[in-house]
Amino acid sequence: MERAQKIAYQILSGFDKSYRWYSRITKGAQSRFEQRRWAASQQAIKERITIYEQSLGEVVTEIYHHLQPQQETAEFWLQMKTCYTKLIAHHPQFELAETFYNSVICRIFKHGCITNDMMFVESTRCYLPGQERDKVVVSFDTTGTVRNMYDQIFATFTFNTPFADLERDKQNLEQGLRAVFPQEELAKVHTVEMLRPVFFRGKAAYLIGRICLENKTLPFVIALRINKSHEIFVDALLTDSADLSVIFGFARSYFMADTQNPAELVAFLAELLPNKKQFELYMSLGFYKHGKTEFFRNYSHHLTQTQDNYELAPGIKGLVMTVFHLPSYGIVFKVIKDEFAESKKITRDFVKNRYRLVKTSDRIGRMADTHEYMNFNFDLNRIDPELLNYLQETCASSIAITGDVLTIKHLYIERKMTPLNIYLNEETDPVKIRSAIDELGLCIKQIALANIFPGDMLHKNFGITKHGRVIFYDYDEICFMNERNFRKMPQTDDPFAVDTLSVGPNDVFPQQFEHFIVGKKHLKDLLKELHGDLMTPEYWIKIQGMCKAGKYLNFTPYNPKKSFFYHPDKKYDYLTL
């Protein structure tokens, strides 16, 4: 028992060290925002994502210095879990500590001992929201004037750099609130509750809370920006649930929001965003490993409530990935194929590297988040025969069957969307079709401005969300913008000289894009009308220059019309500087 207790303590010490490191980076977000250190913000995103694996490796190495795990008995591991459970009984991040313990066990046993005796497959605690609400929420009295409430808010949330014009901002906010609520309804507002952490991401910061009326609550979000003179200004007031949902979208980078009480913070967010699952909220805060734990719990519970079978995902089959889904669940599973089509001059390791690149990049609301799993088990009886045959044909090295269990050794999960090609084939409303094509062009442009060349831009590699937003999800050919040479098509009058033209392996000819991004002529014409510059090398060379110069752009997640500084004569196509 003493050895088990010692190892349990080592694991918790490793977690605490990891969380302190994580918090230090997160706390630094405010100074990076105030000082407009955007390159440092990008580096912080990458560093924070790598903390977990580095800390995990250190703990596992330390454990091997004290024992030979494979020689220990089942009783030893049960004792160790019992000791660890006692250690984290009153821990402020108990749920994250459980996940860290799970990761240690999975690393030691190669993901082969996923049982509740060995790990926290189910949490040992049923968290009751509200227990520590005062630690994450501050309330503001609204019995006085609206202006007085805003005075209280800005006296509470302070920064180390001045506002450009706080008086103007408060006036804008008051007018914004009165535009949403008639006077009689505004009088019924009894409290405004704000989360204590400021949410930083990109070139913006958000004060997030809710307005409490007699019978309902509404989101209350103050969006902050900072100008080139290092002065903060209020850009928008958001009170629509759809706006908040998009801000917390699955295709956006993780927030930097410092908290010592993540369970309570997530509980409050869940009340604001009832359509978001708990694992999505943890992931949005950067706790992506615990998000994976919560996903597995949610998914496992869903399996007990349903009877449908896993099937191949709708749409055109991929050249690199086999993609399947459970129709009743909003996730797709992606498995790397054993062999790729001849046109794909890439390797399995290259594909994994591309997915890691997206994970550590600013996904700017246009690239779906993915999560990697090892030795993921499926009930063989719920695998559609066509899917099983296809997996055996294309991914034989990644699967194993033991009794009634299909194990996939390596896969990614990703949010389910409607493939854009299917959407465009089925949609008949010309306004929605035009919007989707416009979104497709904006998606490609924004990804490029984030210093990523999408590579394979066939519209089948994009999905469309319920909000009508187009998202890219095929990463096997992405690269940095400087890795491609954008050129005009070589000219020749000799029809037999095609093979002798000088074309390098990294050459890209944007004039060809119109022939393969979308297939049907009326869609091509629409794309050329809305985003004809995509088909010119000059456009791409210009973006390359911006990326090389280190220009970091702000991709506003809400409609530009929500900005207090919106002007109808100004072009709001895909970014604000």
Six token digits for residue 520: 């049907």
Q: Which residues pair with 217 in a beta bridge?
A: 212
Alpha carbons 246 and 366: distance in angstroms, whole number: 11
295, 451 contact by CB (below 8 A)? no
Closest to 437 (Cα-Cα) out of 556, 544, 521? 521
Q: Does the active-site annotation cover 141?
A: no
Is 130 labelled a binding residue?
no
CB count in 10 Å sphere of residue 549: 8
Q: What is the residue whose two structure tokens read 């099983």?
A: 388
Alpha carbons 93 and 361: distance in angstroms, whole number: 27
Alpha carbons 350 and 185: distance in angstroms, whole number: 57
Alpha carbons 372 and 412: distance in angstroms, whole number: 5
Is 319 labelled a binding residue?
yes
Six token digits for residue 515: 């022939």
Task: Write b or e for each residue in 563-575: b if 16 or more Cβ atoms lie within 10 A of its Cβ, otherwise e.
Answer: bbeeeeeeeeebe
> How many residues are recorded in the chain?
577
Contacts 24+ apart (CB under 8 A), 484-488: 484/453, 484/508, 484/540, 486/510, 486/537, 486/540, 486/541, 486/544, 487/537, 488/537
Alpha carbons 301 and 288: distance in angstroms, whole number: 20
Helix axes 94-108, 38-66, angle to 10 degrees: 60
Six token digits for residue 371: 């999560």
- Among 362, 369, 438, 456, the active-site one is 369
Phi, psi of 510 (to 5 degrees): -55, -25
Contacts 24+ apart (CB under 8 A), 31-40: 31/160, 32/200, 33/200, 33/203, 33/205, 33/226, 34/159, 34/160, 34/161, 34/226, 34/230, 34/232, 35/161, 35/230, 36/203, 36/226, 36/228, 36/230, 38/203, 38/552, 39/550, 39/552
Helix axes 521-531, 430-449, angle to 10 degrees: 50
Is 458 labelled a binding residue?
no
Contacts 24+ apart (CB under 8 A), 43-49: 44/256, 45/253, 45/254, 45/360, 45/361, 45/362, 46/360, 48/22, 48/254, 48/256, 48/286, 49/254, 49/286, 49/288, 49/359, 49/360
Q: Which residues pair with 468 in a beta bridge?
A: none
Alpha carbons 359 and 564: distance in angstroms, whole number: 33
Is 440 labelled a binding residue?
no
Is 317 labelled a binding residue?
yes
Contacts 24+ apart (CB under 8 A), 509-514: 509/537, 510/486, 510/534, 510/535, 510/536, 510/537, 510/539, 510/540, 511/535, 511/536, 511/537, 513/457
DSSP H or E stretch at residue 139: strand 137-141
Q: Which residues pair with 402 in a beta bridge?
A: 405
Is 316 labelled a binding residue?
yes
Is 314 labelled a binding residue?
yes
Q: Detail the residues annotated as belonging to a binding site.
A: 313-319, 334
Q: Detail the residues annotated as belonging to a binding site for ATP.
A: 313-319, 334
Annotated catalytic sites, by residue? Answer: 369
